[in-house]
């Protein structure tokens, strides 16, 4: 969970993880296109008539809710808690 850590996505790419130590840890991301991978997985599930466990509606709803809460936090300039 992120109660004791924070993640930053700097403009130059990658991720920085900040923990209680205060020292950022750089996390290198692969060069793969995550969106393209998700679409390809979805297409494969359609072709094979399978449930796409990676893209369940419930998960998508949670992602949208989280993004909206992040936007609210940025607009207010303060912490916003999930409910």
* Tens of pLDDT, residues 51-76: 887 777 788 788 888 899 889 989 99
Q: Confirm if 33 and 17 have CB atoms less than 8 A apart.
A: no
Which DSSP letter does residue 7 get? E
Residues 36-63, mean pLDDT to the nearest whole number: 83
pTM: predicted TM-score of the whole model, two decimal places: 0.43
d(CA 27, CA 18): 11
Q: Confirm if 31 and 23 have CB atoms less than 8 A apart.
A: no
- Residue 31 tokens read as 């060069």
pLDDT band at 4 (very low <50, low <70, confident <90, very high): confident
Which DSSP letter does residue 79 get? -
Residues 10-33, mean pLDDT to the nearest whole number: 81
């Amino acid at each position: 969970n992120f109660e004791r850590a924070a993640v930053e996505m700097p403009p130059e790419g990658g991720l920085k993880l900040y923990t209680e130590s205060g020292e950022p840890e750089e996390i290198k991301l692969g060069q793969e296109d995550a969106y393209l991978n998700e679409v390809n997985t979805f297409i494969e599930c359609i072709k094979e008539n399978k449930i796409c466990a990676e893209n369940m509606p419930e998960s998508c709803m949670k992602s949208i809710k989280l993004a909206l809460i992040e936007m609210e936090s940025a607009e207010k300039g303060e912490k916003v808690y999930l409910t």
